[in-house]
Amino acid sequence: MTLMDITLHYLAPVGPRQLRAMDSVREVYGIRRLSLDEIRHSILVGMTRLACTPKMCGRCFEVQAWIRTMSLKQFFMLVEVCAHIEGINEIKLPYVRVCELCVQTGSPWVHLRTCQECGVTLRCDSSPNRHATKHAHASGHPVIASAEPGERWLYCYPNDAFAQY
Protein backbone atom coordinates (compact mmCIF):
# COMPACT_ATOMS: atom_id res chain seq x y z
CA MET A 1 0.00 0.00 0.00
CA THR A 2 1.43 3.36 -1.05
CA LEU A 3 0.41 6.56 0.69
CA MET A 4 0.31 10.06 -0.73
CA ASP A 5 -0.05 13.28 1.23
CA ILE A 6 -2.08 16.23 0.02
CA THR A 7 -2.30 19.55 1.85
CA LEU A 8 -5.56 21.42 1.30
CA HIS A 9 -5.16 25.17 1.85
CA TYR A 10 -8.17 27.46 2.31
CA LEU A 11 -8.66 31.22 2.44
CA ALA A 12 -10.87 31.02 5.50
CA PRO A 13 -9.93 29.42 8.84
CA VAL A 14 -10.57 25.70 9.16
CA GLY A 15 -11.38 23.95 12.40
CA PRO A 16 -12.64 20.79 14.06
CA ARG A 17 -15.99 21.00 12.23
CA GLN A 18 -14.25 20.72 8.85
CA LEU A 19 -12.00 17.95 10.14
CA ARG A 20 -15.10 15.99 11.23
CA ALA A 21 -16.63 16.55 7.78
CA MET A 22 -13.49 15.15 6.13
CA ASP A 23 -13.49 12.25 8.58
CA SER A 24 -17.05 11.37 7.50
CA VAL A 25 -15.84 10.67 3.94
CA ARG A 26 -12.67 8.71 4.83
CA GLU A 27 -13.64 5.50 3.07
CA VAL A 28 -15.00 7.18 -0.07
CA TYR A 29 -11.72 8.99 -0.74
CA GLY A 30 -9.30 6.42 0.70
CA ILE A 31 -8.24 8.76 3.51
CA ARG A 32 -5.90 7.13 6.03
CA ARG A 33 -4.83 10.13 8.10
CA LEU A 34 -6.05 13.70 8.73
CA SER A 35 -4.35 16.51 10.59
CA LEU A 36 -5.45 20.09 11.07
CA ASP A 37 -3.23 23.18 10.89
CA GLU A 38 -5.41 26.06 12.08
CA ILE A 39 -2.61 28.64 11.75
CA ARG A 40 -1.95 27.89 8.06
CA HIS A 41 -5.67 27.31 7.27
CA SER A 42 -4.93 23.83 5.97
CA ILE A 43 -5.71 20.15 6.39
CA LEU A 44 -3.06 17.51 5.66
CA VAL A 45 -4.71 14.45 4.12
CA GLY A 46 -2.91 11.09 3.88
CA MET A 47 -4.50 8.91 1.19
CA THR A 48 -3.99 5.45 -0.21
CA ARG A 49 -2.57 5.60 -3.72
CA LEU A 50 -4.77 3.65 -6.13
CA ALA A 51 -3.19 0.98 -8.31
CA CYS A 52 -2.32 1.95 -11.90
CA THR A 53 -4.42 0.56 -14.73
CA PRO A 54 -3.55 0.38 -18.43
CA LYS A 55 -5.91 3.31 -19.04
CA MET A 56 -3.86 5.61 -16.77
CA CYS A 57 -0.77 7.42 -18.00
CA GLY A 58 2.63 7.26 -16.31
CA ARG A 59 1.68 10.27 -14.20
CA CYS A 60 -1.21 8.48 -12.47
CA PHE A 61 0.05 9.54 -9.04
CA GLU A 62 -0.26 13.26 -9.91
CA VAL A 63 -3.58 12.73 -11.69
CA GLN A 64 -5.04 10.90 -8.69
CA ALA A 65 -3.82 13.59 -6.32
CA TRP A 66 -5.32 16.35 -8.46
CA ILE A 67 -8.71 14.62 -8.88
CA ARG A 68 -8.99 13.78 -5.21
CA THR A 69 -7.88 17.26 -4.14
CA MET A 70 -10.50 18.92 -6.34
CA SER A 71 -13.20 16.54 -5.07
CA LEU A 72 -12.30 17.20 -1.43
CA LYS A 73 -12.15 20.97 -1.97
CA GLN A 74 -15.59 20.88 -3.61
CA PHE A 75 -16.91 18.80 -0.70
CA PHE A 76 -15.36 21.20 1.80
CA MET A 77 -16.90 24.23 0.07
CA LEU A 78 -20.36 22.64 0.38
CA VAL A 79 -19.85 21.86 4.06
CA GLU A 80 -18.75 25.33 5.19
CA VAL A 81 -21.10 27.99 3.84
CA CYS A 82 -21.79 31.05 5.96
CA ALA A 83 -25.25 32.13 7.11
CA HIS A 84 -25.15 35.23 4.89
CA ILE A 85 -24.67 33.12 1.77
CA GLU A 86 -27.19 30.52 2.91
CA GLY A 87 -29.70 33.39 3.27
CA ILE A 88 -29.54 34.22 -0.45
CA ASN A 89 -32.69 32.80 -2.06
CA GLU A 90 -32.39 34.43 -5.47
CA ILE A 91 -29.22 35.63 -7.19
CA LYS A 92 -29.35 39.28 -8.23
CA LEU A 93 -27.79 39.69 -11.68
CA PRO A 94 -26.43 43.00 -13.02
CA TYR A 95 -28.89 45.27 -14.85
CA VAL A 96 -25.98 46.33 -17.08
CA ARG A 97 -22.37 45.14 -16.93
CA VAL A 98 -20.75 48.43 -15.90
CA CYS A 99 -19.47 49.84 -12.62
CA GLU A 100 -21.99 52.56 -11.82
CA LEU A 101 -19.41 54.69 -9.98
CA CYS A 102 -16.76 54.28 -12.70
CA VAL A 103 -19.21 55.46 -15.35
CA GLN A 104 -19.65 58.71 -13.39
CA THR A 105 -15.87 59.34 -13.23
CA GLY A 106 -14.89 57.81 -16.58
CA SER A 107 -12.61 55.21 -14.92
CA PRO A 108 -11.96 51.71 -16.33
CA TRP A 109 -12.60 48.50 -14.38
CA VAL A 110 -11.27 44.91 -14.46
CA HIS A 111 -14.09 42.73 -13.10
CA LEU A 112 -17.58 43.46 -11.83
CA ARG A 113 -19.48 42.29 -8.75
CA THR A 114 -23.19 42.64 -7.93
CA CYS A 115 -24.37 43.32 -4.38
CA GLN A 116 -26.91 40.69 -3.35
CA GLU A 117 -28.71 43.06 -1.00
CA CYS A 118 -29.41 46.10 -3.21
CA GLY A 119 -28.38 44.92 -6.70
CA VAL A 120 -25.78 47.62 -7.42
CA THR A 121 -22.95 46.48 -9.73
CA LEU A 122 -19.46 47.79 -8.93
CA ARG A 123 -15.80 47.06 -9.69
CA CYS A 124 -13.80 44.37 -7.86
CA ASP A 125 -10.63 44.57 -5.76
CA SER A 126 -8.43 44.06 -8.86
CA SER A 127 -9.58 47.48 -10.06
CA PRO A 128 -8.46 50.83 -8.58
CA ASN A 129 -10.77 52.22 -5.88
CA ARG A 130 -12.28 48.81 -4.99
CA HIS A 131 -15.85 50.10 -5.22
CA ALA A 132 -17.56 46.77 -4.38
CA THR A 133 -15.54 46.34 -1.17
CA LYS A 134 -16.10 49.96 -0.14
CA HIS A 135 -19.84 49.54 -0.76
CA ALA A 136 -19.97 46.36 1.36
CA HIS A 137 -18.18 48.00 4.29
CA ALA A 138 -20.12 51.29 4.13
CA SER A 139 -23.57 49.74 3.61
CA GLY A 140 -23.21 46.57 5.66
CA HIS A 141 -24.33 44.50 2.66
CA PRO A 142 -22.30 41.31 3.15
CA VAL A 143 -22.63 39.25 -0.05
CA ILE A 144 -21.63 39.92 -3.66
CA ALA A 145 -21.91 37.77 -6.78
CA SER A 146 -19.56 37.80 -9.72
CA ALA A 147 -21.12 39.78 -12.57
CA GLU A 148 -18.72 38.24 -15.09
CA PRO A 149 -20.18 36.00 -17.82
CA GLY A 150 -19.54 32.33 -17.05
CA GLU A 151 -18.67 32.91 -13.37
CA ARG A 152 -21.22 31.61 -10.85
CA TRP A 153 -19.99 32.32 -7.32
CA LEU A 154 -20.88 34.33 -4.24
CA TYR A 155 -18.54 35.93 -1.71
CA CYS A 156 -19.29 37.05 1.86
CA TYR A 157 -17.10 39.91 3.12
CA PRO A 158 -17.55 39.48 6.91
CA ASN A 159 -16.92 35.71 6.84
CA ASP A 160 -14.44 35.64 3.93
CA ALA A 161 -16.48 32.75 2.48
CA PHE A 162 -17.02 31.65 -1.13
CA ALA A 163 -19.75 29.46 -2.60
CA GLN A 164 -20.62 28.42 -6.11
CA TYR A 165 -24.18 28.42 -7.40
How do residues 32-84 score in pLDDT, each as one tens digit?
777 777 776 667 777 766 555 544 444 445 545 555 565 665 555 544 557 89
Query: Is domain 3-80 annotated with CATH 3.30.70?
Result: yes
Mean pLDDT score, 87-108: 90
Confidence category of residue 137, pLDDT binned at 50, 70, 90: very high
The most confident of 44-48, 80-84, 121-125, 131-135, by mean pLDDT = 131-135
**Average pLDDT over all residues of the chain:** 76
For the entire predicted model, the pTM comes to 0.54
List Cα–Cα distances, 158 to 20, 93, 108, in angstroms.
Answer: 24, 21, 27
Mean pLDDT score, 107-131: 90
The predicted structure's pLDDT at residue 59: 46
Is the confidence at residue 145, as pLDDT, over 80? Answer: yes
Confidence category of residue 162, pLDDT binned at 50, 70, 90: confident
Please name the fold of domain 85-164.
Herpes Virus-1 (3.30.40)
The predicted structure's pLDDT at residue 121: 95
Structural domain boundaries of the chain? 3-80, 85-164
CA 145 – CA 90 distance, rounded (Å) = 11
CA 125 – CA 114 distance, rounded (Å) = 13
Distance from the Cα of residue 59 to its chain's centroid? 27
The predicted structure's pLDDT at residue 142: 96
Mean pLDDT score, 94-99: 92
The predicted structure's pLDDT at residue 24: 67
Same fold, 3-80 and 85-164: no
CA 113 – CA 121 distance, rounded (Å) = 6
> 70 Cβ partners below 8 Å, 6+ apart?
none
CA 28 – CA 85 distance, rounded (Å) = 28
Q: Find the largest Cα–Cα distance for the chain.
A: 63
- CB-based contact 162:133 (threshold 8 Å): no
